[in-house]
């Protein structure tokens, strides 16, 4: 277990170095990163931008306080809509895969710590069945559950990775689409696109909470 903790600390240290370097770059080039300039980015430089966004997704998994909305909104703001959706889906997969790998690295002993810090997740995990795809899809559709805790749990419990990843991506697809749309309209928060995407996200949140409440109610009645 000590070896696992050492590896995790080394991974976090490496991610911190990358994060500091990226932050320094953004600060020194902040006057050049306007939407007008970004739209003229060449394919070669756009590749570096995409790589940076994917690093943000990987970094998010190594820091529980780093919000997923940051790379989602950034992709929507900085990239064409079709490419932003693709990158956000890919980034979501990267984040989910990194979290799964960390869970496998930490082992089954970490499951107790994960559920102890997330009582709502713990209550849902008691309902898990053999259908890993649906269970992963269900948990990801509940937008109030922490992405990282779910990823760590599936990795620590050694769930089938392909079923977990497919369920995660499909479950998070509505969130990804709305966040991308919101990011694209971020420069004008009063625009219909931004307001509609915000309303959609609120409805998604309310819907996931309702689904959770109804599932819990049926569970207690049986």
Residue 92 is predicted with a pLDDT of 93
| Residue 89 pLDDT exceeds 90 | yes
Spatial separation of the C-alpha atoms in residues 219 and 41, rounded to whole Å: 53
In sequence order, the 6+-apart residues with CB closer than 8 A to the CB of 128 are 135
Residues 60-75 pLDDT 10s: 766 655 677 878 888 8
Spatial separation of the C-alpha atoms in residues 147 and 213, rounded to whole Å: 19
Give the pLDDT band of residue 143 (cuts 50, 70, 90): confident
Residues 10-49 pLDDT 10s: 655 555 565 555 555 555 555 555 545 555 554 567 788 8
Residues 151-182 pLDDT 10s: 888 888 888 999 999 999 999 999 999 889 98
Residues 195-210 pLDDT 10s: 898 888 888 888 887 8
- Counting residues of the chain whose pLDDT is more than 90, the rounded percentage is 13
| Residue 141 pLDDT exceeds 60 | yes
Residue 129 is predicted with a pLDDT of 56
Mean pLDDT within 82-111? 86
Task: State pTM to two decimals.
Answer: 0.73
Spatial separation of the C-alpha atoms in residues 154 and 138, rounded to whole Å: 13
SS3 string, the chain, reads CHHHHHHHHHHHHHHHHHHHHHHHHHHHCHHHCCHHHHCCCCHHHHHHHHHHHHHHHHHHHCCCCCCCHHHHHHHHHHCCHHHHHHHHHHHHHHHHHHHHHHHHHHCCHHHHHHHHHCHHHHHHHCCCCCCHHHHHHHHHHCCCCCHHHHHHHHHHCCCCHHHHHHHHHHHHHHHHHHHHHHHHCCCCCCCHHHHHHHHHHHHHHHHHHHHHHHHHHHHHHC
In the chain, domain spans: 2-221
Mean pLDDT within 94-111? 81
Q: 142-166 burial, b if ≥16 CB within 10 A, otherwise e?
A: bbebbbbbbbbbbbbbebebebbbb
Residue 213 is predicted with a pLDDT of 75
């Amino acid at each position: 277990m000590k070896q696992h903790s050492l590896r995790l600390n080394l991974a976090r240290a490496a991610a911190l170095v990358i994060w500091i370097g990226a932050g320094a770059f953004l600060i020194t080039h902040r006057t050049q990163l306007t939407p007008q300039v970004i739209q003229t980015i060449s394919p070669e430089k756009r590749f570096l931008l995409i790589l940076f966004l994917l690093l943000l997704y990987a970094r998010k998994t190594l820091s529980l306080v780093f919000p997923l909305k940051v790379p989602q909104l950034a992709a929507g703001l900085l990239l064409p809509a079709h490419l932003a959706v693709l990158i956000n889906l890919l980034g979501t997969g990267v984040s989910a895969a990194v979290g799964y790998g960390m869970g496998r690295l930490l082992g089954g002993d970490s499951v107790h710590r994960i559920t102890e810090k997330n009582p709502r997740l713990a209550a849902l995990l008691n309902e898990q069945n053999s259908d890993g795809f649906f269970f992963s899809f269900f948990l990801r559709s509940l937008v109030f559950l922490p992405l990282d805790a779910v990823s760590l749990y599936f990795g620590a419990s050694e769930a089938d990775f392909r079923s977990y990843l497919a369920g995660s991506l499909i479950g998070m697809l509505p969130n990804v689409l709305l966040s991308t749309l919101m990011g694209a309209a971020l420069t004008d928060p009063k625009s219909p696109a931004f307001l509609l995407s915000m309303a959609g996200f609120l409805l998604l949140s309310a819907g996931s909470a309702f689904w959770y409440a109804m599932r819990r109610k049926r569970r207690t009645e049986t």
